[in-house]
Amino acid sequence: MSTKRISFTRYLVEQQRVDGHIPSQLRLLLEVVARACKSISQAVNKGDLGGVLGAATTENVQGEVQKKLDIIANEVLIEANEWGGHLAAMASEEMDSIYVVPNRYPQGEYLLLFDPLDGSSNIDVNVSIGTIFSVLKKPDGSAGVSEQDFLQAGAHQVAAGYCVYGPQTTLVLTVGDGVAMFTLDREQGSFVLTQENVQIPADTKEFAINMSNMRHWDAPVKRYVDECLAGTEGPRGKDFNMRWIASMVADVHRILTRGGIFMYPWDKREPNKPGKLRLMYEANPMSWLVEQAGGAATNGRERILDIQPGKLHERVSVILGSKNEVERVTTYHREA
């Protein structure tokens, strides 16, 4: 272990000094998000001992039954962020509409979006889950704040990241200058920089997709996976390995660590929905992180970060990870 430990705070302060691209309000925002992730991590760690496992009695706007931890994580993020004066409003997978910072607090210029607890189906089975977040700036000159202010393409994000609660708790961040990873030191209670300039290899032999949906896929996705499955005897001339954690945070963390491709494509189960995953607080932050690490992210037709959202909880087809593989799947879609 290196003797020079760089805390999350120090990293942000140094970034602010060197490039000047982390304004102080944004730095405060990121520190508050990191602190909230520490609290969520503690709740996750306690599990049954903290009485946090199991289902709540409510459904979210997507019609999914909420887990207790979904609600706890959502509340932790809101309470941590509402009073600091850095935010105008927040939006979450677990809330139907935006949460405007109450009048009793000063209003800032940033907008925070999050999936408070991604991978909800893994909470009760002690498998890695996480928090995903995306930060936008309120458009100049708009009075008050409305849902319309959030509807910006992912390319306008000013910060994005996630925190994965696994064997280690790891916070991963981009502010548009590469990707950095911080591991939670539980004794010290602080995130410590453990990797900078994260790079995803352009090629891979590992793919991630929920294979049980195969019969519902579109032809280009089927073609790509069939070619992977054909291994050394097939057109790719090499064997592939498959992984599916069913927590996007954990699957993306693996890809940032050693490469791979992740797909949650449109499929025929619900043909009117563009996909399962949500554009603004799942696909956009993950796509920016992946691009910042040299990878690519598309919906099969276009770059995810270029998609103009029409509504807060919009869904999207997601193909992201090692650049050459993502380009291959995207080409198959264009050819089809």
Looking at residues 117 to 136 of the shown chain, list those that interact with ligand AHM (rule: CB under 6 A): 118-121
Residue 82 contact, options Mg ion, ligand AHM, none, Cβ 5-8 Å cut-off depending on partner type: none
User: What single-letter DSSP state applies at residue 282?
Assistant: I
Q: Is 247 in the site for ligand AHM (CB under 6 A)?
A: yes
Residue 121 contact, options Mg ion, ligand AHM, none, Cβ 5-8 Å cut-off depending on partner type: ligand AHM
Least distance CB 279 / ligand AHM (angstroms): 13
Q: Is 317 in the site for ligand AHM (CB under 6 A)?
A: no
Least distance CB 273 / ligand AHM (angstroms): 13
User: What single-letter DSSP state applies at residue 62?
Assistant: T
Least distance CB 93 / Mg ion (angstroms): 6
Least distance CB 280 / Mg ion (angstroms): 11
When the beta carbons of 115 and 325 are compared against Mg ion, the nearer one is 115
Which tokens sit at 158?
């000013």
Q: Give the CB-side neighbour count of residue 183, counting CA atoms within 13 A.
A: 10
Q: Is 94 in the site for ligand AHM (CB under 6 A)?
A: no
Select the span of 19-27, 32-40, 112-120, 295-303 touching ligand AHM (CB under 6 A). Answer: 112-120
When the beta carbons of 137 and 276 are compared against Mg ion, the nearer one is 276
Looking at residues 249 to 268 of the shown chain, list those that interact with ligand AHM (rule: CB under 6 A): 264
Q: Is 281 in the site for ligand AHM (CB under 6 A)?
A: no
When the beta carbons of 30 and 164 are compared against ligand AHM, the nearer one is 164
Which tokens sit at 206?
């590992």
Question: What ranges in the chain are assigned the alpha helix state H?
Answer: 8-19, 24-46, 68-81, 147-150, 219-229, 248-258, 284-292, 323-335
CA distances to 54, 138, 167, 218, 297 from 317, rounded to whole Å, are 29, 26, 29, 11, 10
When the beta carbons of 82 and 115 are compared against ligand AHM, the nearer one is 115
When the beta carbons of 148 and 210 are compared against ligand AHM, the nearer one is 210
When the beta carbons of 153 and 246 are compared against ligand AHM, the nearer one is 246
Enumerate long-range contacts of 1-8, CB under 8 Å, 24 or more apart. 5/192, 5/193, 6/192, 6/193, 7/190, 7/191, 7/192, 7/193, 8/34, 8/171, 8/182, 8/190, 8/191, 8/192, 8/193
Q: Which amino acid appears at position 154 of this protein? A: G
- Residues in Cβ contact with 14 at an 8 Å cutoff, skipping those fewer than 6 apart: 6
Ranked by CB distance to ligand AHM, the top (closest) residue is: 248
The residues of the shown chain that bind Mg ion, judged by CB under 5 A, are: 115, 118
* Interface pick for ligand AHM out of 13, 64, 146, 155 (rule CB under 6 A): 64
Answer for the pair 118, 77: CB distance below 8 angstroms, yes or no.
Answer: no
Least distance CB 121 / ligand AHM (angstroms): 5
Number of H helices, E strands in the chain: 8, 17
Q: What are phi and psi of 235, to 5 degrees?
A: -65, -25
Residue 197 contact, options ligand AHM, Mg ion, none, Cβ 5-8 Å cut-off depending on partner type: none
Contact set with ligand AHM (CB under 6 A): 64, 93, 115, 118-121, 210, 246-248, 264
